[in-house]
Structure 1
Amino acid sequence: MRTSTATVFGLLSLLRPRVLAQTYDPSKTLSIGIVLFPGFQPLDVIGPLDIIQILSGSHNMTLSMIWKEIGPVWARAPPRRTPPPANSSLPIAVYPVQAPHIVATHTFNNTPPLDILLVPGGMGNRVLHENNDTVIEDFVAARYYSELQYLLSVCTGAASLAKSGVLNGRHATTNKAAWAWPTQFGDGVKWEPTARWTEDGNIWTSSGVSAGIDMTYAFFRALLGAAVVDPVINAMEYTPHTDRHWDPFSVVHHVPGADTSGPLGDCVGPAGYEYECPRKNTASTHTLVSPINELPLIAK
C-alpha cells in the first residue's frame, strides 16, 4: 500500500473504538461483500457463500461480489513472475486443468455501502503482491474505517488485511501450510499459530480453506443466534468444528509456536445437538502416517 494511504488509515484507526459492532437489526437489510481476484481459492468463497445464500432466504441481505471488472473471475491463478520456493506442505495443484469462475457483480469503485466484507485467499494474491497491486488492501482499509460493521478473512486472505493495516495490534490467524507468507505483513499483528479461527473486536480471521466454513458458522451464530443458524448448518449436513482453538494443521505443517499437546482429532456432530464421542486422542505426541517430507512439492 502507498505510504500516504497507510498513514491516513493508520490515524483513522486511532479514532475507531475496538469494540464489537452493533448487533443485527432484522428490520434493516444486511449488505455483504465478498472480494474476488484471479486465482482465489474456490472453497474460501463458496463455503461461506453457501451459508449466506441459505440465510438470505429468511433474512434481508444483499450480496456484492467484488473485483476490478464486472464479469467472470477465474479461480486459476495467473503465472508468477518468479518461480517460488518449493512448499512440501502442499500437493501439486499450481495450474489445475479446470477451475471455476464466479461472476463479479460490482467493481471496487461502484460497490454499495457494506456491513460485512469477506476476503478470501488463494494463489492469486501472491501475483497481486508481486505486481505491487494494492487494490484489495486499499479497498479493505477504506471500507473498514468508514462503514464496515464486520471484516472477515479466510486462509491467506489475512495477508490482505495485514497489508491494509487493519490488523495492526490485533489477534489473527491464517493458513497453516502457507504460514510464513501472510505473517510477514502488518505491524504488531498477534498471529495465533494454533487457532481454527480468531475473533478480535469486529475482525474475524480463519485458518486454511475449509476453516472458513467453521468461522462463518461461528460468526453468524454470534450475530443472528443459534436458532437461526444451526438449522442452516444441519440442512447443509455439515458438522462444524466449534472450538476455535482446535488446530491440528498447525502441527501437521510445523507452524512455529504451535501447541503440539492437543489432540489431532476432534469430535464433531450436528449443530445444536448433544452427542457422545466414542474416542478421543489425548496423547501429547503425534505420529504422522504420511510424513510431510513424502508429500509432492508445490509452489507457495
Structure 2
Amino acid sequence: MPKVPRFSPNDHRLVELLAFSEVQMLDVAGPLQVFASANEEARRAGVEPPYRLRVISRDGGAIASSAGLALATEPLSATSEEVDTLIVAGGPGVDRAAEDGGTVDWLRRRASRARRVASVCTGAFLLAASGVLDGRRAVTHWSYCEAFSRRFPAVRVEPDPIFLRDGPVWTSAGVTAGIDLALALVEEDLGRETALAVARYLVVFLKRPGGQAQFSAALSLQMRGDRFEALHRWMRSNLAADLSLSALAAEAGMSERSFSRRYLEETGLTPARAVERLRVEGAGQMLIETDDPVKRIARRCGFGSEETMRRSFLRQLSTTPQDYRSRFGAGPRI
C-alpha cells in the first residue's frame, strides 16, 4: 500500500471547487473523485485523509448542472480563510458567472490566499475574468481556444496540452482533462505511487498520451483565416499528390516567395507544416474508419513510408498511428 502523506498526516488540505448554475457536471465530479480516491487510499494505508473537499457556489444550496442533475454546494467561503487548492469548473453557465462582479471579485481575492489555483475546461474563462491568468500560459477546451484568445489577449493560450502549469496556476483542456489535472496535483502532493494507485482505481491514464489535438480536426490544422480555404480543400482531396511549395504556390496562383510569406502570415504555419498536419489529419481519419494496413494509409496520405508517417504522428500528436487506432478505432484492427 502506498505511503500516502508527503506532508503532515494531520494537515488536512482544503480543496475548494467553484461551481455555478449550468456547470459541467464532470468538471466538478471528475477532479472531486480524484481527491476523494486519494483520501480512500490514505484510509487503506492507515493514515488520516490528506484532503478536505468543498464544492461552493455564489449563494450555496442546490444548483442545476448542465446535465440537469442538481449539485449540493456550500456558500462562497470567507476570503480570509486559508485554502490550499482552488479549482474553477467550466460549463455552459461560465459566461454568466464571469459577468457576476461578486463572483469574480471573490475569486480574485480567494485566489490570492490559495497555494495553487486551477481551472477545468471553460472554467479558464472565469479564472481569466478575475485577472489570475494575465501574463500566464493557459489552455482550455480545444473548441474555445480561439474565442478565449480574442477575449483575453493578456493570456498566452496553448491549445494542445491536456493540462499545463504556469507557476502556482494550472489550467486544463476539455471536460475529462480535469481528471488528468487532479491526478497531477495529487502526484505533486503525495507522490507518483499514490497518484498511480488512484489512476488504476479509476481506470484512467496517470499521464494520458498525446495532446488534445488528437481529438480535434480543428486543432490538427489551426487555420485562422479563410484566404486559403479553397487551397485547403484541394490539399485535403489530393493528399497523395505533389504538395511541394512550388505545387501549392501554382495552385494558389502566386509566386513561391509571395505564397510562402502570405501563407505564414495568414495561418501561422509554414506550407510544409500545414501539409504535414493535413496528412496526419487524413491518416487519422482512415485509421479510425477503415481496416486498411498502416503502410497503405501512409501511401494514400502522401507520407511515402510507414516510418515517415509514424514520425509525423509523434511530432503532431505525440502518439503513434498504431496507438491512435487502438484508442479511437471502432474495433480490433489487423
In structure 2, the residue matched to 1:28 is: 11
Map 1:204-215; keep pairs closer than 5 Å: 204-215=170-181
Distance 2:78 2:53 in 1: 16
CA contact (8 A) 2:38 2:186 kept: no
Return the offset for 1:123.
0.4
Q: Deviations over 1:164-197 (max 9, x none)?
A: 1111111110011122333334452111122111
CA contact (8 A) 1:206 1:212 kept: yes
In structure 1, the residue matched to 2:263 is: none
Q: Deviations over 1:86-111 (max 9, x none)?
A: xxxxxxxxxxxx52111102334589
In structure 2, the residue matched to 1:65 is: 55
Aligned length: 228
Structure 1: tracts of 5 or more residues without a match: 1-22, 77-97, 266-278, 287-300
Q: Deviations over 1:203-242 (max 9, x none)?
A: 1100110111111112211221011111111011123444
Distance 2:55 2:170 in 1: 19
Distance 1:40 1:125 in 2: 7
CA contact (8 A) 1:51 1:232 kept: yes
Distance 2:81 2:135 in 1: 29
In structure 1, the residue matched to 2:83 is: 114
In structure 1, the residue matched to 2:229 is: none
Give the root-mean-square deviation of aligned CA atoms.
3.1
**TM-score normalized by the length of structure 1:** 0.66
Distance 1:54 1:105 in 2: 21
CA 1:246–1:156: 2 relative to 1, 3 Å: closer
In structure 2, the residue matched to 1:238 is: 204
Distance 1:101 1:223 in 2: 31
SS of match in other structure, 1:105: strand
32, 44, 68: which is aligned to 1:99? 68
RCO greater where, 1 or 2, for CA within 8 Å and sep 6 or more?
Answer: 1
In structure 1, the residue matched to 2:187 is: 221
2:93 paired with 1:127 = no
2:25 paired with 1:42 = yes
CA 1:149–1:110: 2 relative to 1, 3 Å: closer
Map 1:1-300; keep pairs closer than 5 Å: 24-57=7-40, 58=42, 59-76=49-66, 99-109=68-78, 112-129=81-98, 132-145=99-112, 147-186=113-152, 188-243=154-209, 245=211, 247-249=213-215, 251-253=217-219, 255=222, 282-283=311-312
Distance 1:174 1:74 in 2: 22
Structure showing greater radius of gyration is 2
SS of match in other structure, 2:146: coil
CA 1:164–1:62: 2 relative to 1, 3 Å: same
Distance 2:132 2:167 in 1: 11
Structure 2: tracts of 5 or more residues without a match: 1-5, 43-48, 225-267, 285-306, 318-334
SS of match in other structure, 1:205: strand
Distance 2:215 2:103 in 1: 27
CA contact (8 A) 2:95 2:126 kept: no
CA 1:202–1:24: 2 relative to 1, 3 Å: farther
CA contact (8 A) 1:218 1:242 kept: no
CA contact (8 A) 1:36 1:120 kept: yes
